[in-house]
Amino acid sequence: AMEDKPNKIPASVPQFTNSPTMVIMVGLPARGKTYISKKLTRYLNWIGIPTKVFNVGQYRREAVQTYKNYEFFRPDNEEAMQIRRQCALAALRDVQIYLTLEEGQVAVRWQKPM
């Protein structure tokens, strides 16, 4: 027992908490954001932690189809910058709903840098 071995520290097992967590992936294209996000989400769901991916690019694709790719991401394109901000905010609203009303525990959000 522990009384016989005073120098031993009892082993601890990490406890999962129910507090919401948000993982944000930001980076240039083709750097693995999607891959890591999907793998992390699959693993966390597999071990029983409700997790969902929120892809800001998908919000953008649903909102806009008139711009060519290079024009949309130009820093001097104010209209496109506003649309990108709105898409990021829409994703954040959905994350909030998921973590509060839908009782999700982890939200994985990714986007290209603004």
Residue with tokens 């507090």: 19
Tokens coding 100: 């509060």
What does the pLDDT read at residue 57? 86
Q: Closest by alpha carbon to 24, among 97, 104, 72, 91?
A: 91
Spell out the domain ranges in the chain.
Answer: 22-109
Q: Say which CATH architecture domain 22-109 belongs to.
A: 3-Layer(aba) Sandwich (3.40)
What integer pLDDT is reported at residue 71 of this predicted model?
Answer: 78
- The pLDDT profile of the chain, 114 residues, written as one tens digit per residue, is 555 555 655 555 455 656 788 999 988 888 899 899 999 999 999 998 899 999 988 898 888 877 767 777 888 989 889 998 999 999 999 999 999 999 889 999 876 665
